[in-house]
Structure 1
Amino acid sequence: MTTVTSPLAGRAVGLAAVPDPVFAGAMVGPGTAIDPVREPTAAVAPVDGLVVSMHPHAFVVMDENGRGVLTHLGIDTVQLNGEGFELLVSKGDQVRRGQPVIKWNPAAVEAAGKSPISPIVALEAPAEALSAVAEAGDVPVGGALFTWN
């Protein structure tokens, strides 16, 4: 069992509320999304593990059970070409839950015309593998988002 915690402070909104059909349709996997507070912050690792994918706007941490958790900072933020994002770790690094991974500013993303809503996805998991999925309410950094059974 893997408990996935929030990489961001904000409001849980669920994947269906993500303004992107790939995430909203859970095509990359089930999970939830956070509408982050609008202040400069760092997205933190949602699980202990290995950083297996690293982009300015997104990262994947694979835990000891081989489960990859995607944190995608905002929607269509790849179009910002890394502007406004600062990588704090590298692909291949071991990270601990709660460790800062990427600095960014959700308000600046919004000002650039992109949605700052951030999906947190259990990659390639069947939907029934997740339980206790947070889809509403305020979530602190490190608050439980879902359990991957």
Structure 2
Amino acid sequence: MLKKLFKQKEVNTDLMAPLTGKAIPLDQVPDQVFSQKMMGDGVAIEPTDKQVVSPIDGEVADVFKTKHAISLKTDGGAEILVHMGLETVELDGKGFDIQVENGQKVKKGDPLATFDLNTVAAEGYKTVTPIILLNGEDFAMSNVASEQDVEFGKDILFHIEKK
């Protein structure tokens, strides 16, 4: 009975695809910040659909005021960044419709945002979306999806384990 009361949070988890499209290795992203893993390791998706969903069970840590990125924290403490497009901070929210707020609890597959691929591309920006494990010093990634089609809320991008 006491074990149930003081149940430890699940630390290891599978990170689901937050978008539908093609998973590509981070080193193929045409932006040095991501390809050189300056923000952390991860994978990117070349999206084919505008819907962005939560890849984890956890909490919305930060919705960037320019609406181009959302950071999340798993119940076990892993921090994830979903960065919609490249250099899209310069769009100042144009093409993005955020459906969550800071501190909101989310489950895998819950809607986070819509990302107007046509608007972003028409403005001259790439829609490739990096999904980054921000605190890789504390967590490890394994079974990373690469060079394959993924469907949001259905396919696993990678597994996260506490180091």
What is the TM-score with the length of structure 1 in the denominator? 0.94
**Do the aligned partners of residues 6 and 94 (structure 1) sit closer, same or farther apart at CA in structure 2, a change above 3 Å counting?**
same
Pairwise CA RMSD: 1.5
Q: Deviations over 1:21-77 (max 9, x none)?
A: 01101111111000000x4x2210110111011021110110111111110000000
Distance 2:126 2:137 in 1: 26
| Aligned equivalent of 1:46 | 55
Q: How many residues align?
A: 147
Distance 1:66 1:126 in 2: 12
SS of 2:157's equivalent? strand
Distance 2:63 2:124 in 1: 23
Q: Identity of aligned pairs, percent?
A: 37
Contact 2:54 2:109 in 1 (8 A): yes
Gap regions ≥5 residues in structure 2:
1-11
Distance 1:138 1:126 in 2: 29
Distance 1:35 1:51 in 2: 23
**Amino acid aligned to 2:72:** V
The answer to whether residue 123 in structure 2 is matched with residue 112 in structure 1 is yes
Higher RCO structure, 1 or 2 (CA under 8 Å, sep 6+)? 1
**Amino acid aligned to 1:91:** N
Contact 2:139 2:160 in 1 (8 A): no
Gap regions ≥5 residues in structure 1:
none
**Amino acid aligned to 1:147:** H
| Aligned equivalent of 2:88 | 77
Contact 2:54 2:111 in 1 (8 A): yes
Distance 1:115 1:67 in 2: 27
SS of 1:13's equivalent? strand
Give the drift of 1:107. Answer: 2.3
**Do the aligned partners of residues 29 and 77 (structure 1) sit closer, same or farther apart at CA in structure 2, a change above 3 Å counting?**
same
Aligned pairs for 1:80-91 (under 5 A) are: 80-91=91-102
- Greater radius of gyration (CA): 2
